A and B are shown apart, each in its own frame.
Chain A
Amino acid sequence: MAINAKTWRLSGTALLTVWAPLAAFPFLWMFLMSMRSPVDAFAFPPKLFADITFEHFYTVWIVDGFWVNALNTVVVTVGVMAVSLTIGCLAGYALSRYRGSVGFWLLLVALIFRAMPHVVLLTAYKPAFFELGIWNRYETLIIVLVAINQPFTIWMLRSFFANIPSELDEAALVDGCSRIKAFIKVIMPVMWPGVITTGLFSFLLAYNDFLITSQLMDGDHMTMTAALGNYIYSDDNLTKVLEGVAGAVSVTIPLIFLVLFFQKQLVGGLVQGAVKG
């Protein structure tokens, strides 16, 4: 029995020691490649140590103008987070307090919307936005990403608001506050953990989106992720491949910091969805 428990635990540790390097290896190798000349990056046999060069980062950021895409990323992600959280908090709060069945139907429809493949919506956006002449604009992209993200946002925010006791806002209402004042003055100040977690997921959606952004925006207006599309399908030119690697590393670094600083909130947000349904 004791031996059995011990082997049990040992095999678990063995699994973890195999899994962790495997999970991290693609990233580690990408980081190594981004700082090497083509000869070293694709050497046979593969090298663990080689001369370091920042040439590819220079080409991508300065010559190819990746810095413009980085600024676009800031504009789009900040815009999406701000709008998404504002309208999402209003809706999430109302959904957590309203007792009628309309709320349930709204959430159910939102669930169906959440499962929609984005390309379905894109097929309609393309001709419509072209007709309306609102093609290739930050506002358009931001509002589209906000709408796509709303179903998820209101589900998540609703469950955070539901954790705040409704006695709190009822007391404020009794004291003569209007509903909106109670929401802003009493509820929002205790909602920050929920807002931060949901904001992280809104950020990730806007930051990670390739499909919609690359199709709705031109080169100068694209985010970093969408701009990476310029480097795929270029396997014949190894220098170009390594520039793509440098671009991908540039996209990954902010995410690493995000995970480092907000690991708890990210895990908490994922678990919230599972426990609350």
Chain B
Amino acid sequence: MKFKTFALFVGPSVLAMLALIALPLVGVTYISLYSSSVKTEIVEVKTQVPVFAGVVQEVVTKVPQPVLDENGNPVKSWDYVGLGNIESVLATDQIADAIASDNTVDESVGTIDNLINMYYEIVDVDFWAALEFTLLYTLITLPAVLALGFLLAMSVHRAANKHFKGSLIFATLLPMIVTPLVGSLSIYWLFLDNGVMSSLLQMLGLGKVYFLKDAFSIRSLIILYGIWSTTPFAFIIFYAGLQTVAQDSLEAANLDGATPWQQTRYVILPHLAPLMIFVSMIHVMDAYRIFEPVLVFGSNLFANSLQYLTYHTLYFEDNFNKAAASAVLTVIGVAILLIPAVIRNWREHKRGH
């Protein structure tokens, strides 16, 4: 195919991506460098305050008022602040204070306690708290999803009954396909204070558990949701991979007297290794963007994620510039996460795929 034909064919798609992905990325970076505020001035406002029996006193108060232009719209100022927004999101001052103060803290408490204190002071800042939970979520769900997905794939692969297999794949597919908001809500509703899980636990004599009033249980539930909703993906990929395991090598291993565990360890797992890497890469990218469960469960009080933090700044604080700054920081994180994927594709390209 000639380059000109190629360009014509990919044109509309590339245009859409340039206009609505590439340009916004530039725009966000630009917005993050500025700070907008409504210009205000102090205006003297006179009000008539009734004092007693028809006697009125005039009170003059000084009130900040937005400056209006000739059309009656508030005048907005747009100031270049450089990295100011990013610094305020990162709370660099506060972090520097935390680190500096802990170096001078009394030594009676011990270094480890000092470090723990320092850690708590750092995750007190919204951005670092969001980063902390995003990483925590990724690090816990990733091995769980890989292991559970693999075990399920092995079990379904070995299950004899075809009908059973079909309905199992169906039941497993649903948590992955379903709207993330609905999936998060369906778990959330189970754990309401008078919901079914709390009641069941109470019946078992474990006492009343308030799942949604405590950071630890809320974080656990978000992680549970993560495992529930992404294990199906790992399962399906591994299940497909199991279909292509060379039967000869399995039979040979069997004849040589390899136990099922040895067959798994030395034949099946090496065969699935590339798929494990693929699933891990996709999962890390998706975990980094976790949003809906944090919206449903956490607000930003108990659990926060990077994507939710930007949403919160944008929606509740209505601060575009600060939201843009945390968006830029998020993109930097994406760039770091993508390095292995880019290297992998680059190698394949070099090999001439």
Contact = CB atoms under 8 A, between A and B. Distances in A.
Interface of A: 1, 4-5, 8-9, 12-13, 15-16, 19-20, 22-27, 29-30, 33, 42-46, 86-88, 90-91, 93-95, 97-104, 106-128, 143-144, 146-148, 150-151, 154, 179, 183, 204, 207-208, 210-211, 215, 225, 228-229, 232, 235, 241, 244-245, 248, 251-252, 255-256, 258-260, 263, 266-267, 270-271, 274-275, 277
Contacts of A266: 173, 177
A274 B240 contact: yes
A14 to B, nearest CB: 9
B152 A232 contact: no
Contact of A241 (B189, B314, B323): B189
A252 B203 CA distance: 30
Contacts of A267: 169, 173, 236, 240
A115 B13 contact: no
Nearest to B281: A115
7 contacts: A90-B10, A104-B349, A117-B306, A118-B289, A123-B24, A248-B185, A252-B179
Contact of A115 (B167, B187, B285): B285
Given A113-B22, A126-B320, A228-B185, 4 more contacts: A15-B152, A25-B190, A91-B9, A119-B291
Most chain B beta carbons < 10 A, residue from A93, A211, A251: A211
Interface in B263-287: 275, 278-279, 285
Contacts of B195: 42
A94 B3 contact: no
Contact of B275 (A108, A124, A274): A274
Given A12-B155, A29-B189, A266-B173, A117 B3 contact: no
Interface in B202-228: 202-203, 212, 228
Nearest to A250: B182
Contact of B320 (A123, A207, A244): A123
Given A8-B260, A91-B14, A106-B14, A125 B236 contact: no
Interface residues of B, number: 105
Given A117-B307, A117-B330, A274-B240, A12 B158 contact: yes
A228 B181 contact: yes
Nearest to B165: A16
Nearest to A173: B1
Interface string B323-353: 1100100110011011001101110110001
Contacts of B136: none
A29 B196 CA distance: 9
A111 B341 contact: yes
Contacts of B171: 20, 23-24
A210 B180 contact: yes
A241 B192 contact: yes
B89 interface: no
Given A16-B156, A102-B6, A211-B291, A116 B174 contact: no
A9 B160 CA distance: 10
Given A4-B260, A91-B12, A120-B330, A277 B345 contact: yes
A120 B342 contact: no
Contacts of B5: 94, 179
B67 interface: no
Interface stretch (B25-33, B47-55, B118-126): B25-33
B88 interface: no
Given A16-B152, A259-B177, A150 B17 contact: yes
